Amino acid sequence: MRSYVDAFSPYWHPVAFSHELTGAPLAAHLLETDLVLWRTGTGVAVTHRRCSHRGADLSLGRVTPDGLRCGFHGWTYGVDGRCVRVPSQPGAPIPAGARVSAFRATERYGLIWVCLAPEAAAPLPEWPELEDGSMATVPLPLLDWNVSAGRMIEVVLDVAHLSWVHEGTFGNPEQQEVPPYEVERRPTGVGARIVYPALAPAMDDMPPRVDRTTLTYDVTFPFAAKLAFKPTLFYVHTVYAIASPLSEEKMRCFYFASYHPRLRNHFPDMFVKSELAILEQDRRVLEGVRPRAHPLDFAGEVHTPADRLPIEYRRGIIALRLGRPVDGPAPE
């Protein structure tokens, strides 16, 4: 079986919000690999972070018209990772080993995505509503959790935990049963729709309020989840959680919401505050789950029909990991 790193290298993963990368190089990490990013005239360059000369950290260097210049002795690397300048030996040929591995990067949805393999096995998620100007977006601070990327997406998809883990934010302890729901399995992901009687806690003079909220789940393999919340009497807002695998047991989640621009005076602040409280509830539970690695089977856990959505998601991830079609037969 392929290692975790080999299995997920041929996919696009976000490594930074676009707004984080300015004129200076930026350190990043993905699938046990230290990376450095920098802006070029035409896009974003990404290479290994260790200088081939004497191992300095290239994110401490400087971006020049010729490429990224190491801060230790000035060796400069182009976007293809080849060293183009060795200032201490200006007349001599560039040594053959003077290079760092270079990778592909692209920018979309306000994120910088990197693929560590020469060819991507799947395109980026398709979220056209983020590109047609109809919605505004607000990011959350990065979520660096000791949780595997697959388990993070599973908790986003977990219907049964809402009434337990999210009590006090929007969970409704009166609604413990999970009614049957359908899961749509696609070659690129899974989806489902449920109606949940969300309970908004009492606030100021307002009594607690129940709203039958439609939750629409839509995952793109391997680790990008979109979840739309449509209250009966209010605008929809949608959260996007993209778990970037730092290693098999650790992820950095890029999390943001889209919302109707008319809400711009209130939504961003309200969303960030309440979503951070909700996510903290998830983090406390999730960091305690064992094994930390996302299981490659269903043997060590007991599942029920209420868990169907995370189960179907896991089936897809197991298939990817084993190199099988994602909508093939269920693994043993």
SS3 5: helix
Q: Which span (66-74, 184-192, 269-277, 295-303) binds ligand FES, by CB under 6 A?
A: 66-74
| Residue 275 binding Fe ion, by CB under 5 A | no
Closest alpha carbon to 317 in 236, 250, 219, 251: 219
Q: For residue 30, list its beta bridge partners.
A: 33
Residue 231 Cα distances to 83, 215, 216, 263, angstroms: 55, 9, 11, 14
Alpha helices by DSSP H, listed for the chain, are: 4-8, 149-156, 162-165, 267-286, 308-322
User: What backbone phi and psi angles, to 5 degrees, belong to 307?
Assistant: -95, 15
| Residue 51 binding ligand FES, by CB under 6 A | yes
Q: Which span (98-106, 275-283, 298-306, 312-320) binds Fe ion, by CB under 5 A?
A: 275-283
Q: Which is nearer to ligand FES, 86 or 183 (CB)?
A: 86
Instruction: Name the residue whose CB lies closest to Fe ion.
Output: 282
Q: Which is nearer to ligand FES, 41 or 90 (CB)?
A: 90
DSSP one-letter code for 163: H
Q: Which span (72-80, 122-130, 221-229, 236-244) binds ligand FES, by CB under 6 A?
A: 72-80
Cα gap 219→313, rounded to integer Å? 8
Q: Which is nearer to ligand FES, 24 or 277 (CB)?
A: 24
| Residue 56 binding ligand FES, by CB under 6 A | yes
Q: Which helix (H) or strand (E) holds 13?
A: strand 13-17
| Residue 53 binding ligand FES, by CB under 6 A | yes
Q: Which is nearer to Fe ion, 31 or 155 (CB)?
A: 155
Cα gap 29→143, rounded to integer Å? 14
| Residue 282 binding Fe ion, by CB under 5 A | yes
| Residue 83 binding ligand FES, by CB under 6 A | no
Q: Tokens 């790193």 map to which residue?
A: 5
Task: Give the residue, chosen from 44, 70, 147, 190, that forms a contact with ligand FES under the rule CB under 6 A.
Answer: 70
- Which residues bind to Fe ion, rule: CB under 5 A? 282
- Which residues bind to ligand FES, rule: CB under 6 A? 51, 53-54, 56, 70, 72-75
